[in-house]
Chains A and B, each alone.
Chain A
């Protein structure tokens, strides 16, 4: 097995195992320093971002909403974690020169052409649908996929196959050209 990929990346097995170590350290650190065990996740942050945005636009009236009250709109540990992901990816990609400005990904270009507007609209629509789903299921591939599976949560063992099963189906419908 190779530890480096051809383009200078790391073996996904190695990087994945290190994320496993990070997940363990992170739970211990949050328990010790913040008094509550917190697990890696991302999707709740989008609710907080939406709440903060509505608060900015509509003042406190923007937050008169049961779900926002339940979620507690504030910039917390997970919010900073999500921002950290962007920073970490920027650092890593700049260091190994894999940083690329990309407006349309290759698979998309092959199927739908190189219009970035079309890609933008569908990325936006996909984002709306995915986030409604993630909040309904209470988690995404980080919260359910990584953290929930590690804890042997029943809900995560149902959620991940649902994410991927429907994803496989929709991806085949969307990106496979019908043979005529």
Chain B
């Protein structure tokens, strides 16, 4: 294995370890969030975002890393996002957590993983069709919120932090 593969494996082991410890890999936690009964996955994800956001934006400002936005292609993100949501609710896993769920013994995740590999093959087959339809509607390109809104990134980060912390207090108050 090359350096990149080893680095990926090591990063994945830590990532999987932490997701398992937070209990976010499970079907009940994922569907529980979608049934608005258990917000564990949001406590986990938003905490990661709050911390990661500050470090990543700072390092990018210093020129140590480069940002890699995904394209704001309206049709792709809206239709694709919706399709993902529908499949996610039925499957009860997302691509990353499916492997983790398998790791903690939830072997029905195997069928979800198989479905996702087949889904990826379908997407690759259908790509020429999507390219001239859904993907061709309107693409704003790889854009970030600060330049789009014309607001400093630290203003956005501050508002995001305040909003998420308020949300956390609400989760705890409602015991979600």
A binding-site residues for B, Cβ under 8 Å: 1, 5, 7, 9-24, 26-31, 33-34, 37-43, 45-47, 49-51, 53-54, 65-68, 71, 75-93, 96, 98-108, 116, 119-172, 174-176
Contact = CB atoms under 8 A, between A and B. Distances in A.
Interface in B78-98: 78-98
A9 B87 contact: no
A89 B56 contact: no
A81 B153 CA distance: 29
A99 B96 CA distance: 18
A28 B23 contact: no
What size tier do the contact residues of chain B reach? 35 or more
B1 A80 contact: yes
Contacts, number: 528
Nearest to B135: A136
Most buried by A among B92, B122, B126: B92
Given A105-B92, A138-B70, A132 B148 contact: no
Contacts of B157: 152
Q: List the 10 shortest-distance A-B pairs measured between CB atoms, nearest first.
A: A84-B12, A127-B115, A130-B87, A88-B16, A20-B51, A162-B81, A136-B80, A133-B83, A16-B47, A131-B119
